[in-house]
Amino acid sequence: MVRKDHHTYTKTILSSFKDNPKRFYGYIRNLQIVKCQVTQLEKSDGKSTSNDYEAAELLCKSFEEIFTSEAEFCPSDSDKFLPSSIFSASPFGSNLFDESEVLNKLRMLQSDKSPGPDGIHPHYLKSCAHALAKPLSLIFRCSYDTGALPTDWKLANISPVFKKGSRSDPSNYRPISLTSVPCKIMESILKERIVGFIESSNGFNKFQHGFLKGKSCLRIY
């Protein structure tokens, strides 16, 4: 029965390859004997790291060097990019973080994603969407009204992903941040409201293609 069930499972993964290739490749990666992991990295003095702690510290230093520290945003700066007519109304409205909106976001979560530092897994959030929609909507609204974020939402688990070149060179890894899933839901709602409001107010330049749905970032001559 176990073998039969496993055979059915693998057939399901193969048959859903076109609709969900990520699931297929994830299954293949789990079958690999040799795992791609960060082992020894070369330090500035030419020596190699001897343990995971040294490797983590070396990667941390490398990521800090490429980190971009942006100046604090001033609302008046937006006048340089957006027409003044769109500032006469609020982009959010009175129903921001409505329970039904949060519920829809919870239902759309991908269960195979990893949780953030708070340990709240997307599978749990999606399975308990009806029960969690109301409390999360209240938390989102409170955070927005007070301008404060929970401490766990400011943290991230950094995972190094190899790009190309030598695996011993720390600069050949890029950082992937795993942040809180509830926080990303809140960010997604705010982003959709802001972008939708600017689009409806004709705030985007006609040559703006990046980060907009239905537009390509490649220029065709």
Q: Model confidence at 42, in pLDDT bands (50, 70, 90)? A: confident
Q: Can you tell me the distance from the alpha carbon of 212 to that of 219, in angstroms, rounded to the nearest whole number?
A: 15
> Which positions ≥6 away from 209 have C-beta within 8 Å?
215, 216, 217
The yes-or-no verdict on residue 74 having pLDDT over 70 is no
pLDDT at position 105: 95
Q: Which two tokens stand for residue 135?
A: 């409390």
Identify whether 34 is part of a domain: no
pTM assigned to the model: 0.68
Residue 143: domain span: 91-205
Identify whether 176 is part of a domain: yes
Domain count, the chain: 1
Identify whether 26 is part of a domain: no
CA distances 172 to 68, 118, 148, 164, Å, are 18, 29, 35, 6
φ/ψ of 71, rounded to 5, equals -70, 155
Reduce the DSSP state of residue 71 to 3 states and report it: coil
Q: Which two tokens stand for residue 113?
A: 């994603």
Residue pair 23/13 in contact by the 8 Å Cβ criterion: yes
pLDDT at position 43: 84
Identify whether 158 is part of a domain: yes
